[in-house]
């Protein structure tokens, strides 16, 4: 991938579409596999399993997803607007126990060829992937899984940023901006990809010499080395997810930006993070 990827709502690579389930691939890069899914009422997702080499994330867009944890199969409800994080070797599965559809984003970081695994399932082929039966020792404690945000919120005039997760593999925040909110300076990441999912409203991106428009439901992915920025160009409130893979200290960067009081402190926060102003 050498330029930005823009996927409008409903136009991801289709894995399957049926009344009870639709799955689309949004991202297939080494650092991140991402999918958009719709499950009908009482649809079973994955039985209990573990990943040995990557972390599994679920962000619920609409409805309620049930995440199953541990050999005891404890069930945790994950409502809309909530992120669930399951580290390697934590036994888990998921399903829709509700009477309504659930729509959610699923992130695997690093990607571990999850997209190729889905393609193989679609095409009736076998494919070796980082998904394994629950280990005999029960795996890592389920307490290492997390449902909900980290608790860190940065409020600035016109812009609110809530940190949802910040682990080595992935940093993710949910931002809300009023029309005309502050835009970041044009910048580049050398060591990680930055992705966006627009939850409501509209974002205008500049990536290199391209101008891109992203309305609600759009996925945008900017590869390492591509200069970019974005603006809140519409007349309505904008809400979006911002995903960094790997994290490169994204949480510390947010805190540094929010707490900086001088240009020198701002520069130090950017220097500690993989962000270079261009």
Per-residue pLDDT tens digits for 97-147: 999 999 999 999 999 999 999 999 999 999 999 999 999 999 999 999 999
Q: Tell me the average pLDDT across 214-229.
A: 97
Residues 169-205 have pLDDT tens digits of 999 999 999 888 888 999 999 999 999 999 999 999 9
Same domain as 115, residue 31 = yes
In angstroms, rounded to a whole number, what is the distance separating the alpha carbons of residues 114 and 98? 26
Residues forming a β-bridge with 250: none
CA–CA gap between residue 189 and residue 277 (Å, rounded): 9
Answer yes or no: is 220 within a domain: yes
Checking if the pLDDT of 14 tops 90, the result is yes
- Better-predicted residue by pLDDT, 243 or 271: 243
Percent of the chain scoring above 70 in pLDDT: 99
Cβ within 8 Å of residue 14, ≥6 positions away: 22, 23, 24
Asked if 172 and 141 sit in the same domain, the reply is no
Using DSSP, state whether 62 is helix, strand or coil: strand
Q: What is the pLDDT of residue 156?
A: 84
Q: How far apart are CA 229 and CA 189, in angstroms?
A: 11
Closest to 103 measured CA to CA, from 199, 169, 8: 199
CATH number at residue 139: 2.60.120.10
Instruction: Kindly state whether residue 4 falls inside one of the protein's structural domains.
Output: no
Show Cβ contacts of residue 190 under 8 Å, excluding neighbours closer than 6 positions.
224, 225, 274, 276
Percentage of the chain beyond pLDDT 90 is: 89
Give the domain-ending residue among 83, 118, 147.
147
Spatial CB neighbours of 112, under 8 Å, sequence gap ≥ 6: 33, 51, 53, 54, 129, 130
- Give yes or no: residues 128 and 198 share one domain: no
In terms of domains, do 248 and 124 share one? Answer: no
Number of domains in the chain: 2
Query: Which of 130, 147, 164 is where one domain is finished?
Result: 147
Residues 100 and 207 in one domain: no
* Same domain membership, residue 127 and residue 46: yes
What gap in Å lies between CA 252 and CA 49, rounded to an integer? Answer: 32
The residue behind tokens 């050498």 is 2
**Cβ 175 vs Cβ 242: under 8 Å:** yes
Is the same domain home to 121 and 174? no
Residue ranges making up the domain that contains 233: 153-277
User: Where is average pLDDT lowest: 19-33, 80-94, 132-146, 152-166?
Assistant: 152-166
pTM of the model: 0.96
Q: Are residues 139 and 159 in the same domain?
A: no
Q: How far apart are CA 201 and CA 64, in angstroms?
A: 22
pLDDT confidence band for 267 (50 / 70 / 90):
confident
Q: Does 37 fall in a domain?
A: yes
pLDDT value for 2: 61
24 and 143 assigned to the same domain? yes
Q: How many CB atoms lie within 10 A of CB 21?
A: 17
Any bridge partners for residue 166, and if so which?
171
Structural domain contains residue 245: yes
Q: Which of 115, 147, 179 marks a domain boundary?
A: 147
Looking at the structure, do residues 113 and 171 belong to the same domain, yes or no? no
Identify whether residues 268 and 206 lie together within a single domain.
yes
Domain membership flag for residue 77: yes
In a domain, 140, yes or no: yes
**Model confidence at 19, in pLDDT bands (50, 70, 90)?**
very high
238 belongs to a structural domain: yes
| 123 CB-near residues (< 8 Å, 6+ apart) | none
Q: Which of 239, 226, 220, 242 is nearest to 181 (CA)?
A: 239
Question: Poorest-confidence range of 33-37, 91-95, 182-186?
Answer: 182-186
Is there a single domain that holds both residue 135 and residue 18?
A: yes
Any domain includes 114: yes
């Amino acid at each position: 991938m050498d330029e930005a990827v823009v996927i409008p709502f409903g136009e991801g690579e289709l894995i399957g579409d049926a009344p009870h389930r639709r799955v689309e691939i949004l991202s297939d890069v080494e650092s991140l596999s991402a999918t958009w899914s719709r499950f009908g009422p009482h649809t079973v997702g994955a039985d209990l399993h573990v990943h040995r080499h990557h972390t599994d994330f679920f962000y619920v867009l609409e409805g309620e997803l049930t995440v199953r944890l541990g050999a005891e199969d404890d069930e945790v409800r994950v409502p809309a607007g909530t992120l669930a994080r399951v580290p390697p070797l934590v036994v888990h599965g998921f399903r829709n126990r509700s009477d309504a559809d659930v729509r959610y984003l699923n992130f695997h970081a690093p990607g571990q060829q999850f997209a190729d695994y889905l393609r193989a399932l679609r095409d009736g082929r076998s494919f070796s992937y980082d998904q394994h039966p629950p280990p005999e020792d029960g795996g890592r404690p389920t307490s290492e899984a997390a449902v909900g945000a980290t608790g860190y919120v940065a409020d600035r005039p016109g812009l609110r940023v809530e940190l949802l997760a910040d682990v080595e593999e992935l940093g993710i925040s949910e931002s809300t901006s009023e029309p005309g909110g502050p835009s970041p300076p044009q910048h580049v990441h050398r060591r990680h990809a930055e992705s966006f999912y627009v939850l409501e409203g509209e974002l205008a991106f500049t990536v290199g010499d391209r101008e891109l428009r992203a309305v609600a439901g759009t996925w945008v992915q900017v590869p390492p080395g591509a200069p970019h920025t974005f603006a809140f160009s519409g007349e309505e409130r904008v809400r979006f997810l911002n995903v960094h893979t790997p994290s490169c200290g994204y949480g510390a960067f947010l805190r540094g930006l929010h707490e900086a009081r001088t240009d020198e402190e701002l520069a130090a926060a950017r220097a500690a993070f993989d962000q270079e102003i261009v």
